[in-house]
Amino acid sequence: MRVLVIGSGAREHALLLALRRDPGVTELFCAPGNAGTARVAEQHPVDVADPEAVTAMARRLAADLVVIGPEVPLVLGVADAVRAAGIACFGPSRQAARIEGSKAFAKDVMAAAGVRTAHSEIVDSPANLDAALDRFGPHWVVKDDGLAAGKGVVVTEDRDAARRHAASLLEDGHPVLLESYLDGPEVSLFCLVDGETVVPLLPAQDAKRVGDGDTGPNTGGMGAYAPLPWAPEGMVEDLVENTVKPVAAELVRRGCGFSGLLYAGFALGAAGPAVVEFNCRFGDPETQSVLALLRTPLGELLHATATGSLAEHTDLEWAPGAAVTVVLAAENYPGKPRTGDVISGADDEGVLHAGTVARPEGTVVSAGGRVLSVVGTGADLAAAREDAYRRMAQVHLPGGHYRSDIAARAVAGEITVPGPR
């Protein structure tokens, strides 16, 4: 099977490494890729947001399967164009991708499916902002209603900070979603979805804020680990049966059945699990940890999902132990990152590239905010964490920064799911 992966981040690097382990995958291509994916797959330039360009490339490469990594091409209908050309594509249609592309659409789907989530309100005019803010608090959750790469969210007890963020979004022409605050530890659950067939992967937890101790602004994700030693027994089965399957069924009922990876983010609060968000693709950095432990051939799974035969592949095999991912970010991230710095010590296969490019002479330099993901594995979470930070210590990026506490609270047994009030 010839597989073309669309995207240029560490998520795509992780997908390529997992696909390479599948004996049924004979050729790997990546577009546009980065300095790390170039060592795993043949690379080609492409505008990932151009459906015609991606489709033409898939035809030219005689791809048997196209795997779309990022959300933007999915929301813009790239998967529809590829499928219309008769090529199997892993990724939802434009209509189904609204589950991430429009938070208002996602809320409507969840309401119809009877799924618990935060109370919310859309604000599309500055004139309505103050009255709407008064209906929330003492924690304010302010989101961009569209795509924001994980950085359009502010969670704060400071009403003025909430107002400033909301006002800036409205000034840029973006509707604002205000939400009630959800308590409890968060879980990222990836599910392969083919219509109403749902196959969960390992649960993971990511670290969204830039600084140790969950301080500072939100980012696209500074680290993740899987599985979750603190997860209640039967948690995954419960989340799938009571949330993911009803949402998948509701999308089918609306005529936009989901085909691809449905990412469900949950808060496990005292009142029970509640959905924080749905995404229409593999999440980054959780993918790096989850796929590091997958033993079932990934190409086989993604092709089955894309061609409507996922129901034949419901029993997955996982490596024992755990995986921890730590993200190395550029100076000033999540603000405008400094780029063009030379990276050294990043040749280890446990170092997955994201914002990197290779210069003609072979030097690798930074080219984005999240530059690398370092993945460690081990017999348990403590060993995986030690492995990840050992690998990170070998990498050097001027001005680079990373969190030193990824998975630390889980290792220390400090994460618990609150019981019913």
- For the chain, list the domains and their CATH numbers: 2-90 (3.40.50.20), 119-179 (3.30.1490.20), 184-312 (3.30.470.20), 322-411 (3.90.600.10)
Q: Check pLDDT > 80 for residue 145.
A: no
Q: Quick check: 266 and 273 in contact, CB under 8 A?
A: yes
The per-residue pLDDT of the chain, averaged, comes to: 95
- What mean pLDDT is predicted for residues 11-32? 98
Task: Report the run of H or E that residue 386 belongs to, with start and end.
Answer: helix 381-392
- What mean pLDDT is predicted for residues 220-229? 97
Q: Which of 293, 318, 320, 323 is nearest to 383 (CA)?
A: 323
| Residue 168 in tokens | 């800036």
pLDDT, tens only, 41-51: 999 999 999 99
Q: How many helices (H) and strands (E) does the chain have?
A: 14, 19
Q: What is the CA radius of gyration of the chain?
A: 20
Q: Around 22, how many Cα atoms within 13 Å sit in the side-chain half-sphere? A: 23
Predicted pLDDT at 118: 85
Q: Check pLDDT > 90 for residue 30.
A: yes
Rounded to the nearest 5°, which phi and psi values hold at 242? Answer: -100, -10
pLDDT, tens only, 255-296: 999 999 999 999 999 889 999 999 999 999 999 999 999 999
